[in-house]
Structure 1
Amino acid sequence: MYAVRPKSIKVKTAPDQLYTAAIQKEFSRISTTTEDDLINSFIQSATKKAENFTQIAFLNTVFTAYYDCFPCAFELPKGRVSAIASIKYYDTDNQLQTLSSDYYDSDLNSKPAIIREAKGYSWPSVYDRLNAVEVEYTAGFGVDTDSVPVDVLTAVKLFAGTFYDSDRVDRRAGNNNLTAAELILTPYIQY
């Protein structure tokens, strides 16, 4: 079965920050409280860098994936998919409709997750337009930091610590931290 990747993906509902400045300060042995805002921004940047590197969401995030038509099978990137909220499409009159879940089967255990038409059903015809089909789904390890693998959190902390230390330490040490974080994250990469 050939699964088609979405043409584009948008975040509909983003999670809160992966962890707190206090956790980063303990990890990086930082004692000051005057830079918490800066540390929080580094945590957010580090999380984004790690998620972009792996192409997965760490905390549950609601995505909308866009396709120009109904393919044989949909591929849902961005990591572990826990729920498919809806499949919507523009019918031949260019009106947005919601497809009944009877029309499709899903394999949420695949990496990436797959949706295909159910046996005995056919995909409906769509209007000839861009982004004619929208799939809304949730992907991520879970709703809180405890659901994220420890090695993933360690990699994000290494990134954030490197960002924080970038003007304070030898650049080669910072590059080693980046390399270590990328090596830790490599098994999680989703192509």
Structure 2
Amino acid sequence: MQRLRSILASPPEVTPVTLEDAKRRVRRIEDDDNDEIEMLIAAVVSHLEGVDGILGRALITQDWTDTFDGFPRSDRLDLRLAPVQSIVSIGYIDANGAEATLSPSKFKLHSDASGCFVRLSSKAAWPATDDRDDAVKVTYRAGYGDAPADVPAAIRLAILDLVAHRFGNRGAILVGVSAVEIPRSVAADLAPYKRPHF
């Protein structure tokens, strides 16, 4: 079994930090820079979260679909992101080529140090699937919660620090001038949340 892709099915409705929080961090009261600050928030958040982010996590509630070429040989099906709030559905193409949905009574959501996964209930078995790349689709709800306050404070603080750093260092890079380092506190704040082997 191989995971072929992970797709954002339903994006979060808010960002982990507000524009007002970011404006305070960069010490801007006026609204002239709002668009740029919002773009910086979006860029920093996308650097941290989702399947392309360095944390391997979803921050604010969002739905993802992981696509596999079949069910695993073991009773464990690993999901790409953490934390996972719930499984929305597990759909598959059966051996006859028909679409089907796995009954929620046949699996449970679990997590351990490596991440979140679906495990078969006792005495259940994965159904046979058609031989195709998109044989199994697991849609799940991930993230810490619906509001910025649900995201761990250290992650929110790192986002604000990165936004402020990028806002304060917007000029062109000059040859022969040393680059401004990203604050070390950002790495320290994010370290506990980086998932191993992501």
**Equivalent residue number for residue 3 of structure 2:** 6
Q: Hey, what's the Cα distance between the residues in 1 that align with 2:191 and 2:44?
A: 15
**Equivalent residue number for residue 67 of structure 1:** 68
Q: Hey, what's the Cα distance between the residues in 1 that align with 2:113 and 2:91?
A: 22
Q: Hey, what's the Cα distance between the residues in 1 that align with 2:151 and 2:178?
A: 29
Per-residue deviation at 1:17? 2.4
1:172–1:156 CA distance, 2 compared to 1 (3 A) = farther
In terms of fraction of residues, the more helix-rich structure is 1
Query: Could you tell which deviates more after superposition, 148-157 or 99-108?
Result: 99-108
Q: Hey, what's the Cα distance between the residues in 2 that align with 1:172 and 1:107?
A: 47
**Equivalent residue number for residue 161 of structure 2:** 158
Contact 1:21 1:40 in 2 (8 A): yes
Q: Are 1:99 and 2:97 counterparts?
A: no
Q: Hey, what's the Cα distance between the residues in 2 that align with 1:105 and 1:31?
A: 48
Deviation by residue 1:107-147 (Cα, 9 ceiling, x = unmatched): 14664112122211211110000020011101111111010
2:26 partner amino acid: S
**Equivalent residue number for residue 123 of structure 2:** 120
Per-residue deviation at 1:101? 1.2
Contact 1:6 1:75 in 2 (8 A): no
Q: Which runs of 5+ in 1 are unaligned?
A: none
Contact 1:141 1:147 in 2 (8 A): yes
Q: Are 1:82 and 2:56 counterparts?
A: no
Q: Which runs of 5+ in 2 are unaligned?
A: none
Deviation by residue 1:165-185 (Cα, 9 ceiling, x = unmatched): 2225998684232x4323311
Contact 1:80 1:141 in 2 (8 A): yes
Q: Hey, what's the Cα distance between the residues in 1 that align with 2:41 and 2:118?
A: 34
Tell me the percent identity. 22
Query: Could you tell which deviates more after superposition, 107-116 or 23-32?
Result: 107-116
Q: Hey, what's the Cα distance between the residues in 1 that align with 2:27 and 2:106?
A: 54
Deviation by residue 1:10-69 (Cα, 9 ceiling, x = unmatched): 100111222222110112212331110110010010111122111111111100011111
1:172–1:46 CA distance, 2 compared to 1 (3 A) = farther
Q: Hey, what's the Cα distance between the residues in 1 that align with 2:164 and 2:132?
A: 46
What secondary structure is seen at the aligned counterpart in 2 of 1:40? helix
Deviation by residue 1:84-124 (Cα, 9 ceiling, x = unmatched): 01100001122211110122232146641121222112111
1:150–1:173 CA distance, 2 compared to 1 (3 A) = farther
1:175 partner amino acid: E
Q: Which of 22, 37, 40 in structure 2 is aligned with 1:39?
A: 37
1:189 partner amino acid: K
1:168–1:32 CA distance, 2 compared to 1 (3 A) = farther
> What do you get for the CA RMSD once the two structures are aligned?
2.2
1:54 partner amino acid: L
